[in-house]
Amino acid sequence: MQPLLYGLIFLAVFAGCQGGRYYFANRLQELGILSAMILMAVGAWRGFLYVDFPAWRTWVLSPIFLIFGIMGVSSLAFYMNFGGNPLYSFFSAREFMLAFVGPGIYLLCKTGLPLRNVEKTVRIALLALMLNYLFFYFTLDLKSLFFSADHTLSNLVTYDDWRGFRLKPPLFAIMVGLMAALISVGQSRQFSSVAISLVIVGVAVYIWSIVLFRSTLATMLLSICLYPLLFASRKRIPLVVVVSPLIIIFMPIGLQLMIDAFLGSDGGGLRVKAFALAFEHIPRHPLLGAGEDNAFGATYQDIVAPYFYPDDIGLVGTLYKYGVLGACLYLYMHLKIWTRLWAANIRHIEIYGHINPLLWGVMMWLTALAFNLILNPGLAYAQGITLASMGFAIASLHYQQQDYEV
């Protein structure tokens, strides 16, 4: 069954990172969700036979309650606030089911699937996502898509005066793939590995020359620079404590610069209005938020304004959709996943003497995301859900099973 399992992992990561958004209105995401659920089901069954019950409960029951809890509460919240059919809202939030890929990988590796091959499959999926983007960038008519009356098509392209028409990329996959490849170039000893890593770096840099996401690049560079200073060893923890007050002092300045760039980009004027409307509506349902809308009933555009899309206004949009409880849960999960990645990275270095590229790449991506958290709560959407779940599982395997062959 191993080739089939690797295929399911590839499909879950590829589709979860929106590799299918350029054709068939992203119907490939449904196959990605199905793949994640199959991985979870097979892993749960094998884990039930071979894993102790406390671990099985942690990696099967807890994710089920968490994922379906988020979907259920958000759909019921929307129903209580605005009416409609809660089942439509429940399935509108189905991208959260991509999070099953992580528990599935963890349980399958605990019961015999080689972790090294799983990591290789994930890295192949990340490269496939980059090549997939370039193929459609050169073959699609971006101008026609931008002016299309179909929102699923027009939403694929963005435009401004100095960068022109740009196809939206699988941004998080490119970030993780680029940073993992950079580490591989530096520590690989085989010519073939170095050559492949250089190709990945070249492809990622070329895509970046197309999209020119300056704020994202700045947070990536900041994360890489801070790693040897603050995150490379447990001995750096006292330094983190010392530096924290300085970070707090300069945080408002950095936040203001990010907000200026965010609002100054394409559609900045509408974002300002959307922020104002969000703050106006949040007090009406502060605890659980407005909930998850759906395409078969009232939408946020019907309820608030035609230009109101919570996904476009960062953490404020998350607060509007999921309330104070949802925003606090988001911050807790972000910190929990990052902490597990950090601890696993240090443990891997202590035992094997070198950095695990994929583990480090996911950690640096999540660190960069933390710096841009106010404007981009990426773990609430498909790409972030997929990579965070996968990263948490791989980090847990490295941290808990150092005798396992990696």
Confidence of residue 202 (pLDDT cuts 50, 70, 90): very high
Chain segment 110-122, per-residue pLDDT in tens: 999 999 999 999 9
Average pLDDT, the chain: 88
**Cα(56)–Cα(186) distance, integer angstroms:** 38
Chain segment 66-77, per-residue pLDDT in tens: 999 999 999 999
Work out the angle at residue 92's Cα, subtended by the Cα atoms of residues 378 and 308, and round it to the nearest 5 degrees. 65
pTM: 0.92
pLDDT for 259 equals 61
Report which of residues 366 and 189 the model is more confident about: 366
Mean pLDDT of 40-52: 95
Report which of residues 84 and 162 the model is more confident about: 84
State how far the alpha carbon of 91 is from the alpha carbons of 30, 70, 208, 235, 295, in Å.
Answer: 11, 12, 34, 46, 11
| Residues 358, 394 contacting (CB under 8 angstroms) | yes
Residue with tokens 């841009």: 372
Chain segment 319-343, per-residue pLDDT in tens: 999 999 999 999 999 999 999 999 9
Confidence of residue 405 (pLDDT cuts 50, 70, 90): very low
Backbone angles phi, psi at 97, to 5 degrees: -70, -15
**Cα(163)–Cα(208) distance, integer angstroms:** 12
pLDDT for 266 equals 55
Chain segment 275-310, per-residue pLDDT in tens: 889 999 999 999 999 999 998 888 898 898 888 888
**Whether the predicted pLDDT of 86 surpasses 70:** yes
**Cα(268)–Cα(378) distance, integer angstroms:** 19
Mean pLDDT of 21-36: 92
Q: Looking at 30-44, 51-65, 129-143, 154-168, which range is the least confident one? A: 154-168
**Whether the predicted pLDDT of 393 surpasses 60:** yes
Can you give the residue ranges of every domain in the chain?
2-400
Host H or E run for residue 166? strand 164-167
Chain segment 125-162, per-residue pLDDT in tens: 999 999 999 999 999 999 998 888 887 888 899 887 77
**Whether the predicted pLDDT of 401 surpasses 90:** no
pLDDT for 102 equals 97
The β-bridge partners of 160 are 164
**Whether the predicted pLDDT of 406 surpasses 50:** no
